[in-house]
Structure 1
């Protein structure tokens, strides 16, 4: 089969003959007499596009035959027009070549090998053995873009398996049948590769590292190249302009402006926390003063609408730090109710866990805890006041 994608990686359209159609699981696997659609392999995405009016869902190679998977069976088999999804091809081959350059530079500068490479639909990543500083990562990114500017030709050619084994190439040739395809990027990189690449480094236009992070024993670098990288940079520039406009500052002062906002926010959070603690202190006093007394034991009950569970739990714990205190709190949140039952440690003849599990049935809920603290949740089904009254009555009977 003639592989047009190797002859001309920029060819977007061609005419071919359908020489075989296999129906597998309600899909139609089409064989052409020649193809410009690259099959998935070598870490590169397969091409997509159309055979006449039929969308190609997947392209793969098996036993030296390339199959194009369609959802519908083509009627026309002679002189069918084939159109490549060019955006996908351009993305695929620019990111593949970008990986060659990135991997070669890390090997050249730091003698660190590539442990894996992944090409996704939106972005790609390469894993390099070891760890690197931000400065070292930036250095490689700059060097990669310098390589692009040199407009180095990307050569592809074939050598025999025997020649490959005698060469300095360290690839595994055991699974390759026939000749070995070589991709050479000037003096920077020579590799065994079956992928499709641009004809020169300048066609990459730009390589942009999005982020890097530790991954197992390697460093994972997420990057973009070509049109994707350009769009990413334009979007970031737009966002930076919006930030500067919001902060009324220049690009250079934007970090300082964000730091100032962060410092003010931190101070506000601290002040808010202090005020909450102060309010909680006064609320605690009021709750204790208005408590129901049964044999010198204070029972504090309240239904909240405007607090969160953490707040009422913290308040309950603070109250029951003193002896002879029982807390029955409820929090209404839409169609849900949360309960917090607590008692002082000296009231060890009581069991908040059993008390809550019995009462919470009135709101079709569940929960649990221990003798001194229990929490649960259920439905806000208009039985909440009855639940509190039932629990108060039960406690009074136990305390009398």
Structure 2
């Protein structure tokens, strides 16, 4: 490789000088190779660095054909001396996320023997896929252990063992590795083959917050945050909880109970409302007793309410009951039924002529139409009495 990788010599380099070795145009962009760089290329699960070279934005950084390429929108002159500046906030955030992930994965591997089989470092959330199941209580125990380790401020060791040494080092890796292997060690927590960038001392991670742990394939998928991302998340959650407490007129440590009381009240009110609506459906049904076939066009109702009202009318009318609820602008939800009858052909006709979709059983169907009320009335006028 032509490029000296300054990011491996000092992970905290933010600005550097270099010589442009080559600059080639490819697919409308410029692939620039320098004699030295602090820009980390995408690899090891870590996204590429962002930043500028001579005040020109670096769009991406990749290993291409064995060389470290800076992909840029504008060209740089071959042989020129340039100044590169990386986006340090972006870089340090990724270092915090990556290092936090190593400690979490290492401690889970040590305690439960699970492998990290998938890792994604997104701009908002970090996900880890593990090969076994974990309960939320186990996840919380790991989180406490990880943060205690961070506070102890262990120094991170990065080294390149030779082939003989590797036989006696129990490092984590997703696949068999050959050639030069870079090992990243968080003493007492993790030892893993990795080409990514990490903090030099564990305390620089700040903290780790595990957000969720859900079943995924044969194991679990865990969502987590480290460092500033974790702090921002907790600060935002605290602010939201404070606002909820003010709205509910309770103390901030009482919001859970207050919300549960509110949900219980809402549940009771919904039950009472459902009972009142059912009474109104039954009253409406009583007005159609013995009418035979019935068509109703009502204001907007929920699909479940359309079904329940139609079912009530079927108990009294003695024929087909068709209820359409909605308006000419948004369309109508419908329910059509006939006790012990067969309305399949009628439903097909409704869907075809009223631009509708829906279906169900031979004696009862639900769906929706995009049509005007007068079109609905015209379709049913021959055999339904309003």
Pair in the same fold by TM > 0.5: yes
C-alpha deviation, 1:227, in angstroms: 0.9
Q: Is 1:60 equivalent to 2:62 in the alignment? A: yes
Aligned counterpart, 2:279: 278
Aligned with 2:295 (options 294, 301, 325) = 301
- Structure 2 residue ranges without an equivalent (≥5): none
Report the RMSD for the aligned CA atoms in angstroms: 2.7
CA contact (8 A) 1:319 1:325 kept: no
**Which deviates more from structure 2 when the two are superposed, residues 91-100 or residues 245-254?**
245-254
Please state whether the residue corresponding to 1:130 is helix, strand or coil: coil
CA, structure 1 residues 176+79, in 2 after alignment: closer, same or farther (shift >3 Å)? farther
Q: Is 1:102 equivalent to 2:104 in the alignment? A: yes
C-alpha deviation, 1:368, in angstroms: 5.6
C-alpha deviation, 1:224, in angstroms: 0.6
Aligned counterpart, 1:295: none
C-alpha deviations, 1:289-308, integer Å up to 9, x for none? 7x4xxxxxx23222212423
Q: Would you say how many aligned residue pairs link Structure 1 and Structure 2?
A: 383
Please state whether the residue corresponding to 1:214 is helix, strand or coil: strand
Separation in 2, partners of 1:385, 1:150: 76
Separation in 2, partners of 1:311, 1:367: 16
CA contact (8 A) 2:160 2:182 kept: yes
Aligned counterpart, 1:131: 133
Please state whether the residue corresponding to 1:168 is helix, strand or coil: coil
Q: Is 1:338 equivalent to 2:332 in the alignment? A: yes
C-alpha deviation, 1:321, in angstroms: 3.8
Aligned counterpart, 1:27: 29
C-alpha deviation, 1:153, in angstroms: 0.7
Separation in 1, partners of 2:135, 2:351: 56
Aligned counterpart, 1:328: 322
TM-score (norm 2): 0.89
Pairing 1:42-121 to 2, within 5 Å after superposition: 42-75=44-77, 78-121=80-123
Pairing 1:135-284 to 2, within 5 Å after superposition: 135-169=137-171, 171=173, 175-177=177-179, 179-284=180-285
Aligned counterpart, 2:380: 391
Separation in 2, partners of 1:152, 1:182: 16
Separation in 2, partners of 1:64, 1:328: 71
CA, structure 1 residues 38+363, in 2 after alignment: closer, same or farther (shift >3 Å)? same
Separation in 2, partners of 1:92, 1:324: 70
Larger radius of gyration: 1
CA contact (8 A) 1:359 1:391 kept: no
Q: Is 1:36 equivalent to 2:38 in the alignment? A: yes
**Which deviates more from structure 2 when the two are superposed, residues 165-174 or residues 34-43?**
165-174
C-alpha deviations, 1:296-331, integer Å up to 9, x for none? xx2322221242343233222232245732223333
Separation in 2, partners of 1:186, 1:149: 13
Aligned counterpart, 1:294: none
CA, structure 1 residues 310+29, in 2 after alignment: closer, same or farther (shift >3 Å)? same
CA contact (8 A) 2:289 2:316 kept: no
- Structure 1 residue ranges without an equivalent (≥5): 292-297
CA, structure 1 residues 113+320, in 2 after alignment: closer, same or farther (shift >3 Å)? same
Separation in 2, partners of 1:277, 1:395: 24
Separation in 1, partners of 2:254, 2:268: 21
TM-score (norm 1): 0.86
CA, structure 1 residues 166+286, in 2 after alignment: closer, same or farther (shift >3 Å)? same
CA contact (8 A) 2:109 2:115 kept: yes
Separation in 1, partners of 2:30, 2:205: 35
Separation in 1, partners of 2:174, 2:345: 68
Q: Is 1:352 equivalent to 2:337 in the alignment? A: no
Please state whether the residue corresponding to 1:253 is helix, strand or coil: helix
CA, structure 1 residues 343+50, in 2 after alignment: closer, same or farther (shift >3 Å)? closer
C-alpha deviation, 1:139, in angstroms: 1.2
